[in-house]
Structures are given as C-alpha cells and as structure tokens.
Amino acid sequence: MHNTQPGRVRVTISLTRDIATLIDETVDGVRIRNRSHAIETLVTESLHITQVRYAVILAGGDQALKRIPAIQHILRTFTENGIYEVTIAVGYLGEQIKQRLGTGEEYGLHITYLQTELGTGGALLQLKSQLKHTFLVANIDRPVEVDIKNLVKFHREHGPIVTIATRSLTELSGIYIMEPKLFQFIPPGFCMLEDTVFHEMTKQGKLLPYPILKDYSDKH
C-alpha cells in the first residue's frame, strides 16, 4: 500500500484473468473511466458506501402545505433507497403538515419534526448534533424524479461539501447531498441556504451542481 493524492491510497492486488475481464467490461469511458475506477466503483457499491442513511426535508414557508405531494413522493423514494430516518423542518403550518404526514409508518420510515422559524440554514444548524455523516436534504415544491444512488455516487467521486440536484441554478431548490463541514458556513440565527450559504460555497469551490431534476409529471 502506497500513498498517492491526499485522501487516497494506492493498493496492489492480483485477480484471476476472468475477473479482470469482467471488470474491464464495465469500463465505458464515461460512467466508468478505467479499470482502477471500475474496481473502486464495484467495491463501493458492494460495501454500500454510497448509501445515505439520514434525510432532512425543509417544509417551512407560506407554501408549505402545497409541498405535501412532493414530500409524499420523496418519502417513498427515500424508502426505496434505504433511507429510514427523516426529520421534517416545519414553520407556522407545522401542525397541519404533521397531521398530513404522520409518523412515517405509512411510508415505511420514521419521521421526527423540528419546529423552527430560522430559515433553511438555521433549521439545519439546529440539527448539527444529529448530522455527523453525509446526509440528504430535500427542498422541493413539486414531485421530482431523482436517482439518489447516482447522485450520492457523483458526490463521493467529486468530493464537494454540497452537491445540488436542481432545476434552477438561480433558485437552488432541489435535492442536496451534504457533508457536516457545511455547518462551518452557517452563521447563528436566521439564515437561508439559498441566499447566502450556497453563494459563498460556490465562490470557494465547495458546491457542485448535478444534472437537472425532472418533474414527476414529465413521466406521467
């Protein structure tokens, strides 16, 4: 084992010719760049390293109740991708949202609620003690289709603090994959991710966009 670029190590292994051939067949020059990348990808998937276990849904604001269909759809997507622990951050319409979504049993997961008036950034900062590993945040106003597995894989491969799957690089709503280092950028008190935090992170090269989300209605 030898040191290579920061955060990575070089490993020498021996494989049978048949296994090497099967690995090489996964190389397409786009998704899988070369044999080394193929081996890393296969090991990552087999160890479920791409898996995110915890998600936060931002459901505050005046239009919160209109987001219910989008939230219901993403909850089902979470279950399909092995995410079973979800916190929903709600504002003054919180009680109505809780009544509509319940405990999460209907979706096969567990929902807790955070009542907050501190904005999207302030809400996440309140959850800092719970968000110790890579986590997902949903900030959407309508049902969308997203391949969470590929989104997380993209995030792992490129190494930003935040990856955003969004339809609009102006509004910056969408699905976010985040690292706990995000909290270094969130000031105490009221804070909106979209207005301040994301712009600063973009300037520092700590945030990456992901291919645009498709509306659920596009396929139905």
Residue 1's pLDDT is: 44
Q: Are residues 32 and 101 in the same domain?
A: no
Task: Flag whether 3 is in a domain.
Answer: no
pLDDT tens track for 70-123: 999 999 999 999 899 999 999 988 999 999 999 999 999 999 999 999 999 999
Task: Flag whether 123 is in a domain.
Answer: yes
Q: How many CB atoms lie within 10 A of CB 163?
A: 23
Q: Which amino acid is at 173?
A: S
Q: Are residues 138 and 32 in the same domain?
A: no
Q: Are residues 147 and 181 in the same domain?
A: yes
Q: Are residues 95 and 193 in the same domain?
A: yes
Q: Are residues 164 and 64 in the same domain?
A: yes
pLDDT tens track for 192-207: 998 899 999 999 999 9
Q: In whole numbers, what is the pLDDT of the chain averaged over residues?
A: 88
DSSP 128-153: TTT--S-EEEEE-SS-EE--HHHHHH
* Residue 18 pLDDT class (50, 70, 90 cuts): confident
Domain count, the chain: 2
Task: Flag whether 6 is in a domain.
Answer: no
Residue 56's pLDDT is: 98
Q: Are residues 69 and 30 in the same domain?
A: no
Residue 13's pLDDT is: 86
pLDDT tens track for 136-184: 999 998 888 889 999 999 999 899 999 999 988 888 889 999 999 999 9
* Residue 190 pLDDT class (50, 70, 90 cuts): very high
Q: Are residues 39 and 58 in the same domain?
A: no
Q: How many CB atoms lie within 10 A of CB 66?
A: 11
CA distance 103 to 180: 26
Q: Are residues 26 and 78 in the same domain?
A: no
Task: Flag whether 154 is in a domain.
Answer: yes
Task: Flag whether 78 is in a domain.
Answer: yes
Q: Are residues 149 and 101 in the same domain?
A: yes
Q: Are residues 20 and 102 in the same domain?
A: no
Task: Flag whether 155 is in a domain.
Answer: yes
Q: Give every CB contact of residue 63 below 8 A, 6+ residues apart in sequence.
A: 141
Residue 62's pLDDT is: 81
Better-predicted residue by pLDDT, 7 or 51 = 51
Residue 6's pLDDT is: 45
pTM value? 0.77
Task: Flag whether 4 is in a domain.
Answer: no
Q: Residue 131 sits in a domain of what CATH number?
A: 3.90.550.10
User: Domain limits at 167?
Assistant: 54-219
Q: Are residues 36 and 138 in the same domain?
A: no
